Structure 1
Amino acid sequence: MPHFPDGFAWGTATSSYQIEGSPDADGKGMSIWDTFAHTPGKIANGETGDVACDHYRRWPEDLDLLPQVGCNAYRFSLSWPRILPEGTGRVEPRGLDF
């Protein structure tokens, strides 16, 4: 079995669209993926990311799981439509808080 050096970073990564859900919570605007997924015939079985893993509401629990599976590093992405709901201009403070 290979040996990993002390201090080796064991991590995981997520993509905002794939885990957040809550597409209309707290002032979030529509992303390109939200629009695409809600276009009939574009996604098999009409699936969307509307719920996903519900990370937007469950993030404290999700982060608590990381050390339980041995992760000491986590890379995540931000949903820009949650921060800039119209694409430019007004910043949504609740998106920044998240």
Structure 2
Amino acid sequence: MLPKRSDFPADFQFGVATSSYQIEGHSFGGAGPTHWDTFAATPGNVVRAENGAIACDHYHRWEEDLDLIANAGFDIYRFSTSWARVMPEGRGPVNREGLDFYDRLVDGMLERGLKPALT
């Protein structure tokens, strides 16, 4: 038998977590190359030569994804930023398109009553 939410203290926070490269889709939003792109492109490193170019397409499906999280009754969404999306060259100016994505994502969490937990 699985525990029920009521089996936990009233202030217990339930959350879900993702990692940017594995969920967002790294070929969108002006992201620059990462070591994961290089690793995934090396023959034999990844099953079926899969990569993070599209991943789960969270970059385009974030609203639907946040609805799923909120409707499942979670309190917190722990997510990471892709620094290659924020600073595609690794230094220099930030990528406005990348920052706008994370801004929309955080606003979407707040609209749904989810607490953002950025890593």
Give TM-score, length-normalised by structure 1. 0.90
- Residue of structure 1 in register with 2:88 after alignment: 85
Alpha-carbon deviation of 1:28? Answer: 1.0
1:40 Cα deviation (Å)?
2.0
Among 8, 14, 17, which residue is 1:13 paired with?
Answer: 17
Structure 2 spans left out of the alignment, 5+ residues: 102-119
Aligned twin of 2:27: 24
Q: Which blocks of at least 5 consecutive residues in structure 1 are unaligned?
A: none
Name the structure 1 match of 2:73: 70
- Distance in 1 of aligned mates of 2:23 and 2:36: 13
Indicate the larger mover: 1-10 or 35-44: 1-10
Counterpart position of 2:39: 36
- Normalised to the residue count of structure 2, the TM-score between the two structures is 0.75
2:48 alignment partner in structure 1: 45
For residue 108 of structure 2, what is the aligned residue in structure 1? Answer: none
Once the two structures are TM-superposed, the CA of residue 48 in structure 1 deviates from its matched residue by 0.9
Deviation at 1:13, TM superposition (A): 0.6
Q: Which runs of 4+ in 1 moved over 6 A?
A: none
Q: Corresponding residue for 1:94?
A: 97
Paired AA for residue 23 in structure 2: I
- CA apart distance, 1:51: 1.7
- The separation in 2 between residues aligned to 1:78 and 1:54, in whole angstroms, is 15
Paired residue total: 97
